[in-house]
Structure 1
Amino acid sequence: MDGPEAAEGDNVLNLCRLGLENLSQELENLSMEQVAEDRRKEVHQLLLSHNRMMVLPPQVATFSNLLLLDISNNNLAYLGEHILGLTKLRTLLAKNNRLDEFSLPKEMGSMKLEVLNLSGNHFEEIPSQIMQLQTLKTLSLGGNRLKGIPEEIDNLISLEFLYLGGNFITSIPPELANLPYLSYLVLCDNRIQSVPPQLAQVYSLRSLSLHNNLLTYLPREILSLVHLQELSLRGNPLVVRFVRDLTYTPPSLLELAGRTIKSRGIPYGPWELPENLRMYLDLASKCPNPKCSGVYFDSCVRQIKFVDFCGKYRLPLMHYLCSPECSSPCCSASHSSESDSEDEASAAARRMQKVLLG
């Protein structure tokens, strides 16, 4: 995702598309002649994109009041220490370069960045310096070579927008649930196979992009995301071919006995059973079928159930039954009609507004 476009004005210095491999001389001339010290202090946005820079000119540090620096679409493989002198910098756009996890200054974590766009580079992991940017609100690392998301992601306590699409990520860390302001999470075009139930704790989440992954089901906890307005799921196995496979291991004699005791309400106490068996009986899970009074322990049927959102969109969610014969009736409500009550309509409005399956 691109960063904000800078408008031309007195506080904008646009040196885009000069086609130069080295802008040091150009900036040196500007620093000494055309851009006096007072003028350099007035520049808030410096645009250096679409050149052929291999090195960020040290003269950039002379623009001490920069708020935005755009060095995208160059040939940069390293950001020098002089960028740390831009203490007021809030937006750094460096997409489509040759940067990797070894390209950033070690002390970059001390900067007060709010927007960082490093998409289209060569990162195989997210550098630890980025995990120290506690003022960061927007982080874009799409189109890189990332294989995972570090657990330290929850250090980014101000993060609102996280774009990690187009990588090789295989799993979502539960630590994402610790980001209190995360509203937009883009994880499309990766290799993610499951969604952790903890993600349902990100109550601020409004948009979740998971299309073109390897998802076969969603956790039922995702229904708790009451503020979610958009969920993108196209291009996953759960959409292109709905998974209905039943996996069932015959229960052991211990489980059969435990099921009988629990389903029939047979009383037991510390004098009838040893402690390990009492603990085992306490682990019983009730069958989700409302017409079934059965329980299960270790042996259960894994099944996909379809649940309606807003009376229209069907979501496949994983649930577990006590036996193959115990089929839970469809609990989804019929499609919304004009006769729906206002209470039902308002409740639907609080649920997901768009589920992108196509």
Structure 2
Amino acid sequence: METLDSEASDDLSYCDLDSFPEVLLERSKEIQSLQLSHNQITILPRSIGAFVNLIALDLSNNGLSYISDEIIHLKQLKTLIARNNALDQAALPKEFAVLNNLEVVNFSGNNFSQFPLQLTQMPSLRRVYLGSNRLQSVPNDIKFMIGLEILYLGGNNLTEIPAEIGHLSQLTALNLCDNKLQSLPPTLMNLQKLQSLSLHNNSICVLPQEIVALDLVELSLRNNPLVARFVQDLVYKPPSLLELAGRVLKTKAVQYEESEVPRNLVDYLASAQSCVNPRCKGVYFTSRWEHVKFVDFCGKYRVPLLQYLCAPNCTPASPLVSLSSSDSEPEDDIPVVKMKKVLLG
């Protein structure tokens, strides 16, 4: 936010206000920055519309539950901060998106259970903070927020992120920590300007291999199931007789007519997955060997990627993703200490 003259800025924080004092309204057209945090303004007064030259407004820590429609008259507003209140998606005016100069919105610490759709209609936004809310999903329309540089969604109830996140080509920081994510969309690889990716305290079991295409400076993975996965033996369930028979049919290319085989067996045979080892012709259905491949990440550290083999003795002949030439130690001999450093760093 640009620096404002002290004459154009009013700080009325901690003043026990529940509305705007008359002396403030008399100077409304002069004020460009208004700090009203830590008061008792539970409903933003309609008189907010009088501050037509306002550039920055801070309403944090008020117990604010509703923002009046008159806020849409603040055509010069660039920064709106309303942290730690009682706002939800119904608290915003339907026409909120007409504030087409707005660049920074901070609604962290509120009661949003849905991502405010008005924000997806505002391509001018550069920074959006919605941490510590109750968000359960991110809309596909997030793809329209093409100017976004920072997106903070930590501390919510998200279980997945839509593939449309890959449209945010200007994004430099993405925070998804403290959610319930189990995986990430491969479209993250399109975020070529991304420098910081925070994923700690989730339920992530595997990373998409496309993540190695990112030139990240910061990557946080701690406190995810994938951490424990790499310091314990990986899982292999011996195949059943049905799977063994199915593997033989697929690897030997045995011909069969669908009319001669029960429908459930046709579907089962069609579900076969090829072994990731390019020199192996094997397949698997449900019984597979989970193998970890540590790949070099921009020469900074190794990232663990999970791949599936048809059997424990089927080790890949070549890496899933090439290691850098400076990395000479065998992958299977990486010391546990280094693994922990990679995963928790």
> What TM-score, normalized by structure 2, do the two folds share?
0.80
Partner of 1:52: 40
Q: Show the counterpart of 1:349.
A: none
Instruction: State the partner residue of 2:73.
Output: 85
Which of residues 12, 15, 19 in structure 2 aligns to 1:15? 12
Deviation at 1:323, TM superposition (A): 2.7
Between 132-141 and 5-14, report the one with greater CA deviation: 5-14
**Residue 256 of structure 1 aligns to a residue in which SS?**
helix
Query: In the TM superposition, what whole-angstrom CA distance separates every residue of 1:52-71 from its partner, at most 9, and x where no partner exists?
Result: 11121233222211111111
The correspondence of residues 283-298 of structure 1 with structure 2, limited to 5 A, is 287-289=275-277, 292-296=279-283, 298=285
Structure 1: gaps of 5 or more residues: 263-271, 340-353
Q: For residues 181 and 123 of structure 2, what CA distance do their matches in structure 1 show?
A: 26
Question: Alpha carbon RMSD of aligned pairs, Å?
Answer: 3.3
Q: Distance in 2 between matches of 1:103 and 1:255?
A: 57
Q: What are the residue-to-residue correspondences of 1:84-123 with 2, within 5 Å?
A: 84-112=72-100, 113-123=102-112
CA distance in 1, matches of 2:204, 2:117: 29
Match of 1:326? 314
Equivalent residue number for residue 64 of structure 1: 52
Which of residues 206, 212, 215 in structure 1 aligns to 2:201? 212
Mapped to 2, the partners of 1:84 and 1:31 lie a distance apart of: 17
SS in 1 for 2:43: coil
Q: Is the 8 A contact 1:284 1:295 kept in 2?
A: no
Counterparts of 1:220-239 in structure 2 under 5 Å? 220-225=209-214, 227-239=215-227
Other structure's SS at 1:129 match: helix
* Structure 1 match to 2:291: 304
Give the unaligned 5+ runs of structure 2: 260-268, 329-340
Read off the aligned partner of 1:181 and give its amino acid letter. Q
SS at match of 2:72: helix
Deviation at 1:245, TM superposition (A): 1.6
TM-score, normalised by the number of residues in structure 1: 0.78
How far 1:16 moved relative to its partner? 1.4
Task: Work out the percentage of aligned pairs sharing the same amino acid.
Answer: 42
> Does 2:159 correspond to 1:157?
no
Paired residues of 1:144 and 1:167 also in contact (CA < 8 A):
yes
In 1: Cα distance, 2:117 partner to 2:248 partner: 51
Residue 180 of structure 1 corresponds to which residue in structure 2?
169
* 1:78 Cα deviation after fit: 0.2
- With over 3 angstroms needed to count, the CA separation of the structure-2 counterparts of 1:53 and 1:356, relative to structure 1, is farther
Instruction: Name the CA distance, whole Å, in 1 between partners of 2:36 and 2:3.
Output: 12
Distance in 2 of aligned mates of 1:273 and 1:109:
60
For the structure 1 residues 228 and 274, does the alpha-carbon distance in structure 2 shift closer, same or farther, using more than 3 Å as the test?
farther
Shift of 1:285: 6.9
Offset at residue 144 of structure 1 (A):
0.7
Residue equivalent to 2:252: 260
Cα distance in 1, alignment partners of residues 127 and 194 from structure 2: 14
Go from structure 1 to structure 2 and tell me whether the alpha carbon gap of 1:304 and 1:183 turns closer, same or farther (over 3 Å shift). farther
Residue of structure 1 in register with 2:235 after alignment: 245
Query: Residues 228 and 248 of structure 1: is their aligned pair in 2 closer, same or farther, counting only changes over 3 Å?
Result: farther
Shift of 1:8: 6.3
Deviation at 1:233, TM superposition (A): 0.5
Which whole-Å CA distance do the structure 2 matches of 1:179 and 1:114 have between them?
15
Aligned residues: 318
1:259 to 1:249, Cα distance in 2 relative to 1, 3 A: same
Counterpart-to-counterpart distance in 2, 1:31 and 1:185: 39
